[in-house]
Amino acid sequence: VSADLLISIGDNPERIHSEAALAHLCGVAPLPASSGRTNRHRLNRGGDRRANSALYRIAMVRMKCDQRTREYVARRTEEGLSKREIIRCLKRAIVREIYRVICTRRSTPQPRDLRRDELKELRIAKHLTQVVVAKHLGCAPARIS
């Protein structure tokens, strides 16, 4: 399931500039269908269908297993929404969570105050290879001392 979503996002998450862009990519954002003074939206049948299918499966599992989601579904049912509409809302909420996890940058603290020799000693003391450290930091092993 997560592989389908990661494939949809691709190896360049910078192209997804907002949560709405990711929602459009996955086909869970509504499309404007306005005419004149009427302001309406319709269901988006486009987007990446595999990503949309993965979001549907996530929503169905959450409806069965997650207590917060079950409470949300009960509340929205009382408001008069159908099951299809609730699933649509859930998929959009899931996209928001995925965007926060995947696309927001987290700064990695850089230990600039340690010398190269000290870093190497710490790495060796923790029995970490250059390859493992490089993979964790997302750089080439040649850059690790």
Per residue, the 3-state secondary structure of the chain, as one string, reads CHHHHHHHHCCCHHHCCCHHHHHHHHCCCCEECCECCECCEECCCCCCHHHHHHHHHHHHHHHHHCHHHHHHHHHHHHCCCCHHHHHHHHHHHHHHHHHHHHCCCCCCCCCCCCCHHHHHHHHHHCCCCHHHHHHHHCCCHHHCC
Q: Are residues 85 and 49 in the same domain?
A: yes
Q: What's the pLDDT tens digit per position in 14-67?
A: 778 888 888 888 889 888 777 888 887 777 888 888 889 999 999 999 999 999
Ramachandran angles phi, psi of 35, nearest 5°? -145, 120
Side-chain-side CA neighbours of 142 within 13 Å: the count stands at: 0
pLDDT of residue 135: 82
Confidence band of 3 (pLDDT split at 50, 70, 90)? confident
Q: Are residues 134 and 87 in the same domain?
A: no
For residue 37, the enclosing domain spans 2-102
pLDDT of residue 137: 79
Q: Are residues 98 and 55 in the same domain?
A: yes
Q: Are residues 73 and 118 in the same domain?
A: no
Q: Are residues 134 and 80 in the same domain?
A: no
In percent, how much of the chain has pLDDT > 90? Answer: 30
pTM, to two decimals: 0.65
Q: Are residues 88 and 136 in the same domain?
A: no
As a whole number, the mean pLDDT across the chain is 83
Cβ–Cβ < 8 Å for 17, 34:
no
Q: Are residues 57 and 115 in the same domain?
A: no
Q: Are residues 94 and 117 in the same domain?
A: no
Q: Are residues 34 and 49 in the same domain?
A: yes
**Which of 102, 119, 134 is the last residue in one of the domains?**
102
pLDDT of residue 117: 75
Q: Are residues 135 and 82 in the same domain?
A: no
Q: Are residues 94 and 119 in the same domain?
A: no
How many domains are there within the chain? Answer: 2
The span from the CA of 94 to the CA of 55, in Å, is 7
User: Of the spans 26-30, 85-89, 99-103, which averages the highest pLDDT?
Assistant: 85-89
Distances (CA, A) of 130 to 20, 39, 122, 140: 39, 58, 12, 9
Identity of residue 11: D
